[in-house]
Structure 1
Amino acid sequence: MEMNYRHTFHAGNHADVLKHVALLALCDALTAKPAPLFALDTHAGRGLYALDSNSALRTGEAEGGIGRLLAESPKHLAITRYLAAVRACRQVHGSASYPGSPWLLAHALRPDDRIAACELHPEEAQLLGSTFAADARVSAHERDGYAAIKALLPPRIGDTRFNRGLVIIDPPYEAQLEEFDTAIHALREGLTRWPQGTFALWYPIKMRRALQPFYRRAAALPAKSTFVAELLVHPDDSPLRMNGSGLLLLNAPWRLDETLRGALQLLARTLGDPSGSWRLDWLKEPA
């Protein structure tokens, strides 16, 4: 099912904004300590997008996401950090470029850190590999990202064993609610193999009440701490559109919730319609 999805239609939309603001905040918190990090991006896409492509222009989703945010530039450290990264990407790749999560990881992490980026679709995987061909820190894999969790964790490259790092899971949800079953299973597998790792799962929100079983199962995962950060640009009462999205964050760095709380407030105000909203709730607070 993943083979049909192309993120180029949706790059830079409100969901990308939430995901990428949080991703950079995660990276900055993790790199505050000197030990090297390993990052696994399970559904990496091509890594770099052109917002003036026919695909992006057809949906126009970026206009209500990164376009609006750049125009208004709300003042918050995490948002400013994200906008600076987008501008840095455009200085290198052109004024219509937009960085995907692998590009942001490569931008935020350090020379001794390592990144594995997985993409199942052959054409997207080829573009991913081309984007990072000159970056020795990044290995691009044409493979199923869920299977990579089992194959690549706990991370060890050469003689280096990585005790810290991040797994970001961003599936297309073409299977709708069934995708949550697969994701929860993958998170459980990942936490078993790398219990000290930080895990982030992105998910779409149409009708939030339909997500209650997911929240319950997420709270039961063997993580030290678990919270959700959600951004709604429309009321969460229609099953026919993506009204918002969220991130499930497991073993998040200390005080990341405080950083994201302030950013969510401004993102809802900037990107949402008059009924836009945000939510940050602990499912399992740290002991």
Structure 2
Amino acid sequence: MSDVSYTTEEIAKLLKISKVTVYDLIKKGELPSYRVGKQMRVDAADLEAYKQRERGGSFSVLGDASDRTSSYTPMQSSVINGSRTIVITGQDISVDILSRHIEKTVSGIRPLRAYVGSMDSLISMYRGECDIVSTHLFDGETGEYNIPYVRRIFTGFSYLIVNLLSRQCGFFVQKGNPLGMHGWADLKKNGLRVANRERGVGSRVLLDEQLRLLGIKGDQLEGYDREESNQIGIAAKVASGEADFGIGNEKTAATVGNVDFIPLIEERYDLVMMKRQENREWIRSVMQILNSQVFLNELRSIPGYDLSKTGKIMFET
């Protein structure tokens, strides 16, 4: 057994918990881990030892976020190999770049990446399972990104919302746009087939909000309940002719090719951080990274990013 190890995704499936909860266990030191390239791995012996402790009732975190209570308990700082771990959520490559800069330049901090959608990330932060959340959630009532959701979830908390970047979001359509889709009102066309994301991610929330504003039910779109786990999968479905459209960003369309991109809205991709005393130093360091030319130049090499607000505080309590 000592030669067997598992990725965080495999641990999540074995224990039937979310990946964020796995990172929570690693962060608290309950699951010893080590890095292989970009992956965190846990030895089978350490997983078995954790399961034995859990059966003995010595630890109460086990269980997916949906099974946890709604009360918030501040997480104790975890120190592994002399470094405090912080969990960073998000699915965009810009978050990977930020995490790498933190690891290289912030002394005493060890970032762990969790590839989780916007809404699940905010809920996990509420429960104390992560430290930096990236989010791009559109609110149809206000036309605003992120702030309405964060304010509703974190009532009474002290936090910071900082812009990471902005980017164009819209329709992926087949080459030549045969159905002539140019705006949200085109969602009313009969017989549309959609390639859809899972609930809680930013592009799914954007589609659901636009459908709600137009008075359209999701089940009026063929394929609405068939979910893809990433935007590349969405664009690929459209490119292959299996769907008429999907929601995503310009960068993904350029990556996949063989699809046309119809820009409809500039989405703001923000970071949320809790303003606690023990977080003060690393938050200051993250702000310095966001405003550094080294970091900005690396993001500039990626097409489709608007960095005019990067590092700007969008909201603060």
Query: Quick check: TM above 0.5?
Result: no
More helix, by proportion: 1
Calculate the TM-score normalised by the size of structure 2. 0.33
Q: Tell me which structure has the larger Cα radius of gyration.
A: 2
Whichever structure has more strand as a proportion of its residues is 2
